């Protein structure tokens, strides 16, 4: 699975790019980690990684918010897409039950562009959709899970530094305008 840090940072960047405030983007991006809460029940890649299940959960929540808190309706729709980003990212990393229970197999999409380092013009593109039966099994008590890795931290830092730099530039411009 992409680690929780990547699940958080990827939608954060998209939301900021779409013009949401940093505060709202941070709050909504945290929803992307929710499907991994299945580990609290000693399973992983369970039904919480099914887009079908997540949509069925999100619809009544969005409906409730539309009725009771209409000013947050758009945020609830965005939040639903953020939650759905989780199994979408996972399906490109390992077998994921993304269409369960409509499709009882887990899906793994492999997509690579490889080159021969001695002849970089020798490019090979691989695309494969792998399928295997879905098994929801218990995680053993001493099973390790990656919370973050060096690569994930590096990617996240590069992205977050870019976000902070953009925010500083934008605030610097608005402060200069106010001083004039």
Strand pairing class (119-133; 105-116): antiparallel
Beta bridge partners of 112: 126
**In contact, 37 and 47? CB cutoff 8 Å:** no
pLDDT digits (tens, 9 = 90+) for 100-151: 999 999 999 999 999 888 888 889 999 999 999 998 877 766 666 667 788 8
pLDDT band at 42 (very low <50, low <70, confident <90, very high): confident
- Give the C-alpha separation, 3 to 32, whole Å: 11
**In contact, 113 and 125? CB cutoff 8 Å:** yes
pLDDT, position 4: 87
pLDDT, position 160: 85
pLDDT, position 167: 78
Pairs from 134-143 (Cβ < 8 Å, separation ≥ 24): 134/97, 134/100, 134/104, 134/105, 134/106, 136/43, 136/45, 136/46, 136/47, 136/97, 137/43, 138/42, 138/43, 139/39, 139/42, 139/43, 139/44, 141/42
Residues 6+ apart with CB under 8 A from 116: 122
Phi and psi (nearest 5°) for 135?
Answer: -130, 125
Burial class (CB in 10 A: 0-12, 13-18, 19+), 82: buried
Mean pLDDT, range 52-72, rounded to an integer: 97
pLDDT, position 37: 86
Q: Which residue has the higher pLDDT, 95 or 145?
A: 95
């Amino acid at each position: 699975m992409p680690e929780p840090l990547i699940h958080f940072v990827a939608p954060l960047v998209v939301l900021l790019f779409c013009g949401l405030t940093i505060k709202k983007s941070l709050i909504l991006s945290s929803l992307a980690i929710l499907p991994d809460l299945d580990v609290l029940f000693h399973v992983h890649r369970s039904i919480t990684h099914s887009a079908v299940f997540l949509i069925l959960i999100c619809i009544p929540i969005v409906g409730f918010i539309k009725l009771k808190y209409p000013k947050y309706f758009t945020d609830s729709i965005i939040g639903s897409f953020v939650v759905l980003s989780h199994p979408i990212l996972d399906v490109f990393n390992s077998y994921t039950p993304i269409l369960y229970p409509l499709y009882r197999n887990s899906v793994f999409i492999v997509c690579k562009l490889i080159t021969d380092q001695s002849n970089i013009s020798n490019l090979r593109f691989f695309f494969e959709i792998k399928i295997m039966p879905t098994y929801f099994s218990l995680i053993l008590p001493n099973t390790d899970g990656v919370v973050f890795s060096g690569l994930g931290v590096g990617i996240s830092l590069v992205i977050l530094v870019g976000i902070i730099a953009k925010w500083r530039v934008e605030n610097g411009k608005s402060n200069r305008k106010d001083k004039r």
